């Protein structure tokens, strides 16, 4: 994943000065000129910039763009693969202002909200694909409040910020448990969660498994949170309301066109390693790189893991080798017909250790022997 600010500025300068289409190293096209002085940007489902010919490209944005400030400007429209408008809004030199509207794939309204000085104000209203109301979230105060909620049968379960809430959301990226959805359930009082809440993992066959238990105080703050899968307490609750990914577009982050990045698996590796190896009092101010080799069967199970490019110290490598064997699964490689095959992977990563000895693993990249 890359922040492309300076790269984008230089590329735009060349694009408009010479009147040419962009042709970056490796023939990657993240944006190009559109009629009437506009620019067309190419994003994946999560609003990361991707090559226009990438299989994961799913959204195209047409907007003005201020090269000197590196920001979107004026009205914009986002289109899906079928050319259907999925989002409209307005930027004033990069600042969100006025009414934003998102649409379901059939063109019906999905949600609407007004921004003022880049912040949502008033009610953010969500709708089911049939046009019926689903959820109203209020942003007038510092605390975000759920004010109304209707279930899929059309029954209003929350009125004036009070009632019961049961809402299902997809996992944004890869999770090692293999569940595509999680479901939040509990009581809402004065717009915020109150008392005992649960989160269940949900599979495609509607089987549910208890994932977390939480206790919220009268102010909606989490007092206790317990993850049954990892057998650990936590202090930050999972999401309550639908996630909006369009904010990411303004950060101008790009992703390579491969499934390990698109699925979030490389991000999962960063988080997994960082969670396993948190700190060391004897190691500080380190920047280093490493790589390891994984022999993978056709089901994605590691059969052998070997450290290739080691870190600088014996102590660090001892920690690292312990962590390598804790990754239970990798996405299998595919043959030309799309069938999973056994393969050998080389995984590259970076380690940063700050002055307090805290570890951060990042910039993971996977190279597959039998699949580009």
Q: 49 near 254, Cβ under 8 Å?
A: yes
351, 359 in Cβ contact below 8 A?
Answer: yes
Each residue's pLDDT tens digit, 345-359: 999 999 998 988 888
- Which residues is 98 bridged to in the sheet? 115
**Which range is least confidently modeled, 81-90, 151-160, 279-288?**
279-288
Contact (CB, 8 A) for 209 and 179: yes
Chain-centre distance for alpha carbon 195? 29
Among 4-18, 212-226, 284-298, the range scoring the smallest mean pLDDT is: 4-18
DSSP string, 55-108: TT--EEEEEEEETTTTEEEEEEEEE-TTS-EEEEEEEETTEE-EEEEEE-TTS-
Question: What is the mean predicted confidence (pLDDT) over 63-73?
Answer: 96
At 313, is the pLDDT very low, low, confident or very high (cuts 50, 70, 90)?
confident
Please report the pLDDT score of residue 26 as a whole number. Answer: 58
CA 79/CA 61 separation, integer angstroms: 6
Domains, the chain: 1-128+241-257 (no CATH), 145-234 (no CATH), 260-368 (3.30.1150)
- Using pLDDT thresholds of 50, 70 and 90, give the confidence band for residue 22: very low
Q: Would you give the DSSP letter of residue 156?
A: E
**pLDDT 10s digits, 142-198:** 899 999 999 999 999 999 999 999 999 998 888 888 899 999 999 999 999 999 999
Residue 345, judged by CB atoms within 10 A of its CB (0-12, 13-18, 19+), counts as buried
Q: CA triplet 260, 265, 267: central angle to 5 degrees?
A: 115
Residue 42 has pLDDT above 90, yes or no: yes
- Cβ partners under 8 Å of residue 12, min gap 6: 39, 65, 67
Average pLDDT over residues 13-34: 60
Confidence of residue 133 (pLDDT cuts 50, 70, 90): very high
Distance of alpha carbon 329 from alpha carbon 268, whole angstroms: 11
Helix H or strand E encompassing 10 = helix 5-18
Distance CA 25, CA 16 (A): 18
Task: For residue 162, list its beta bridge partners.
Answer: 159
Phi/psi for 324 (5° steps) reads -55, -40
CA dist 148 and 122 (Å) reads 13
Of 154, 157, 163, 151, the residue nearest 189 (C-alpha): 163
pLDDT at 14 over 80: no
Cβ pair 250, 3 in contact under 8 A:
no
Q: Is 106 exposed, middle or buried (0-12, 13-18, 19+ CB in 10 A)?
A: exposed
Task: Please give the model's pTM, rounded to 2 decimal places.
Answer: 0.84
Would you state the pLDDT for residue 225?
Answer: 95
Give strand pairing partners of 168.
183
* pLDDT at position 11: 47
């Amino acid at each position: 994943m890359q922040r492309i600010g300076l790269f984008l500025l230089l590329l735009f300068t060349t694009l408009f000065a010479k009147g040419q289409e962009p042709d970056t190293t490796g023939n990657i096209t993240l944006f190009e000129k559109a009629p009437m002085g506009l620019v067309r940007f190419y994003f994946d489902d999560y609003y990361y910039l991707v090559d226009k010919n990438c299989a994961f490209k799913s959204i195209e944005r047409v907007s003005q763009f201020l090269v000197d400030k590196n920001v979107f400007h004026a009205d914009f429209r986002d289109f899906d693969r079928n050319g259907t408008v999925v989002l409209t809004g307005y930027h004033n030199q990069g600042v969100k202002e006025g009414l934003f509207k998102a649409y379901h794939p059939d063109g019906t309204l999905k949600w609407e909200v007004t921004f003022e000085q880049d912040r949502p104000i008033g009610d953010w209203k969500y709708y089911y694909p049939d046009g019926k109301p689903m959820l109203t979230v209020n942003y007038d105060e510092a605390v975000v409040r759920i004010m109304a909620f209707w279930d899929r049968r059309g029954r209003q379960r929350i009125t004036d910020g009070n009632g019961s809430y049961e809402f299902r959301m997809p996992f944004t990226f890869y999770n090692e448990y293999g569940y595509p959805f999680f479901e939040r359930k509990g009581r809402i009082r004065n717009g915020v969660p109150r008392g005992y809440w649960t989160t269940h993992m949900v599979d495609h066959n509607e089987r549910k498994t208890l994932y977390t238990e939480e206790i919220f105080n009268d102010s909606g703050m989490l007092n206790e949170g317990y993850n049954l899968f990892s057998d650990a307490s936590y202090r930050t609750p999972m999401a309550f309301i639908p996630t909006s990914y369009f904010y990411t577009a303004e950060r101008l982050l790009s992703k390579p066109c491969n499934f390990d990045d698109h699925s979030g698996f490389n991000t999962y590796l960063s988080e997994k390693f960082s969670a396993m190896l948190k700190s060391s009092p004897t190691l500080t101010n380190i920047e280093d790189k490493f790589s390891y080799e994984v022999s993978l069967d056709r089901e994605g199970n590691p059969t052998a893991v070997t450290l290739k490019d080691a870190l600088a110290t014996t102590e660090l490598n001892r920690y690292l080798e312990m962590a390598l064997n804790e990754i239970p699964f990798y996405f299998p490689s595919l043959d030309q017909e799309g069938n999973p095959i056994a393969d050998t992977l080389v995984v590259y990563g970076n380690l940063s250790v700050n002055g307090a000895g805290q570890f951060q693993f990042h910039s993971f990249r996977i190279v597959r022997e039998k699949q580009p």
